A and B are shown apart, each in its own frame.
Chain A
């Protein structure tokens, strides 16, 4: 039996073809982020558990990979990038000018239950826009998201907009237990109106507030008409939340995104963490959201520097799913590839082979040097499989090399001195 060839559950390898696609996709995304003025940051793979869990709920804490280091301190693998970036910015605010626009392409680790379509190591691309709480900032990252999706070749997508402060404003003064609140939130999230109504029967809220909750559960539309619903607003905070959502929506309209946006007031993404506008992106035929984001104005302050912020993260694997039927990977350039076969184990000819290979590499040609001379049939199979444009034989005679293109069956004989002199 082969030993030690297994890998832990929930992680994966990328074979050359897949790795090529992944890098290609990531480079496209990187380019788009940079076109929008965002700069890359790289943070450590593991940090102190304590700093990665600032502002995190139990669920996130439980899902982290923890490590005890030799001095007995608890470390953890990052389970998202927003918290490490927040810590980074807070630790050296003077190194950045406001607004701070940063992006990352990174692997993330979570101890997820398996067989739920989730991995334990996965990849994210995302941005954070830090320093402003204006609706313009929220609208910018959403437009950037839309530009990213279009840029990688996804035309058909929908972005869901919500505002968690509306819900927060309604239950602000309700004296309800954490468990009941969580059940209510979950029922709203599931758009389970019946459940919401039955939970409300046992919650001490004014009728007006209950009506607002019911209305909120039912509020999703492709235009901003629901933003005028008076029943949703029961106090100043609620009014501000709706106004904020309206402003962002209006700016997105000027970005030309009206047809991509769905307003859904029932989105209650991690409300302990988000403090305002939240959003998700969906594409047909992928059952999950492929991107999530929102405003988190309290997180960086918990590291000691008070800065409002918004951002999003796209799941690279989920983007792959969305792209499986798209043609963008056809754009991956296949480079010229040469194979040099030295037919004689002789230092004179080997040196010629190495010199020739290096000359070609300087011209950006991909060159492989065969490690042994093979028979014609093996060469043919290899050349076909690896899509090798030219095969160069050295050492067939003292003065000449043979260059074969096995696809066109063309052969050339050139003088060694000429080919080495060629620039």
Chain B
């Protein structure tokens, strides 16, 4: 049996569409229930609904064989997983943003000891240290746009899709760090020990992309 980790939220609908196209119907009730795990007996697949930030962990430990996760989360956690498919949905950008008035004359290379609030402390630290820029990173768990408004930090690093939330909070993008899409990840041991099932699954998904 294959165990697949899905995540509710933006990626969920796209994942369901993709599976449907690939001939794997993920039962309609999934969307409107609090149940977190579903078994497809015909296909011998068990789907679990897992928080986006937890998907790589479930897959790394082998609790799930396969997972769908954003590239942002994969980079942030840097787990040892196979990442064979770019699913090409869930397009976003990881960006550095700051209040409009600061942005007028700002340039990241002029920074010294700047504070950045983010849900992605590892990516942020790595990104700036590779550029030789010293920053102080504050880890937040949500609503990062609030940090500059409240004076917690002047800059933020966050995931943006349309940029609307930034705009509404008076922030503008000053640096695009990374293009993000959803990826299919596979546990390394499952890849070898369930090789038949997994390669079959990968092939039908690839064909549906």
- Residues in A lying within 8 Å of B, measured CB to CB: 117, 156-158, 160, 190-195, 222, 262, 264, 282-289
CA distance in complex: A285, B193 (Å): 9
Cα(A158)–Cα(B187), bound, Å: 14
State whether A191 touches B193 (Cβ < 8 A): no
Q: A190-B84, A192-B82 are in contact. List 12 more A-B contacts (CB 8 A).
A: A156-B193, A157-B193, A190-B82, A191-B186, A192-B83, A282-B188, A282-B193, A284-B190, A284-B194, A286-B189, A287-B61, A287-B187
Cβ distance B71 to chain A, nearest Cβ, rounded Å: 10
With A and B bound together, what is the CA distance between A158 and B188 in angstroms?
12
From A193, A194, A222, A286, contact of B62 by CB (8 A): A286
Q: A190 to B195, Cβ gap below 8 A?
A: no
B25 in contact (CB, < 8 A): no
Distance of A54 Cα from B85 Cα, bound (Å): 38
Given contacts A160-B192, A282-B193, contact A287 B83 (CB under 8 A): no
Which residue on B lies nearest to A117, using beta carbons? B61
Chain B residues within CB distance 8 Å of chain A? 59-63, 81-86, 183, 186-195
Chain B residues whose C-beta falls within 8 Å of the C-beta of A287 in the assembled complex: 59-63, 187-190
> How near does chain A come to B173, taking the closest CB pair, in angstroms?
22
9 A-B pairs within 8 Å (CB atoms) are namely A190-B84, A191-B84, A192-B82, A262-B195, A264-B192, A284-B193, A286-B62, A287-B187, A288-B189
What is the bound-complex CA distance between A193 and B84, given in angstroms? 6
For B59, what are the chain A residues with a Cβ–Cβ distance below 8 Å?
287
Do B193 and A158 touch (CB < 8 A)? yes
Q: Is the CB of B192 within 8 A of A158?
A: yes
Identity of the chain B residue whose Cβ is nearest the Cβ of A290 in the assembled complex: B189
By DSSP majority rule, is chain B's interface helix, strand, loop, or mixed? mixed
Minimum CB–CB distance from A197 to chain B (whole Å) comes to: 10
- Cross-chain contact A289 with B86 (CB below 8 angstroms): no
Residues of A within 8 A of B63 (CB): 287
Of B84, B189, B192, which contacts A192 at CB under 8 A?
A: B84
Given contacts A117-B61, A262-B195, A284-B194, contact A289 B84 (CB under 8 A): no
Known: A287-B62, A287-B187. A282 touches B192 (CB 8 A): yes
Asked whether, in the complex, the Cβ of B62 is within 8 Å of the Cβ of A285, the reply is: yes
Bound complex: CA of A169 vs CA of B81, how far in Å? 25
Q: Chain B nearest CB: distance from A146 CB in Å?
A: 14
Interface centre among A157, A195, A282 (most CB of B within 10 A): A282
**What CA separation (Å) do A223 and B16 show in the bound complex?**
35
**Pick from B82, B84, B188, B194: contact of A288, CB under 8 Å:** B188
Closest chain A residue to B199, Cβ basis: A220
Evaluate whether A222 and B83 lie within 8 angstroms (CB atoms) in the complex, with A285-B62, A286-B62 already known: no
In the bound complex, what is the Cα–Cα distance between A136 and B59 (angstroms)?
36
**In the bound complex, CA of A264 to CA of B192 (Å):** 10
Q: In the complex, what residues of B have CB within 8 A of residue A264's CB?
A: 192
The interface residues of chain B lying within 8 Å CB-to-CB of A286 are 62, 189
Q: How far is the CB of A289 from chain B (nearest CB, A)?
A: 7
A194–B83 CA distance with the chains assembled, in angstroms: 9
Least CB distance from A285 to B in Å reads: 6
Q: Which residues of A contact B186 (CB under 8 A)?
A: 191
Nearest chain-B residue to A159 (Cβ)? B192
Given the interface pairs A222-B195, A287-B60, the reply to whether A282 lies near B84 with Cβ below 8 Å is: no
User: A residues within 8 A CB of B83?
Assistant: 190-192, 195
Closest B residue to A156 by beta carbon equals B193
Bound together, the chains give a CA A160 to CA B188 distance in angstroms of: 11
Q: How far is the CA of A262 from the CA of B81 in the complex (A)?
A: 18
| Nearest opposing residue in chain B for A190, CB measure | B83
Residue among A191, A222, A283, A288 with the highest chain B CB neighbour number at 10 A: A191
A193 to B86, CA, bound (A): 9
Task: Give the distance to chain B from A372, nearest Cβ to Cβ, in Å.
Answer: 48
Count chain A CB atoms within 10 A of each CB in B82, B86, B186, B192 and give the residue with the most. Answer: B192
Cβ–Cβ < 8 Å partners of B189 in chain A: 282-284, 286-289
A285 to B62 Cα, complex, angstroms: 6
For the complex, give the distance between the alpha carbons of A6 and B93 in Å. Answer: 45
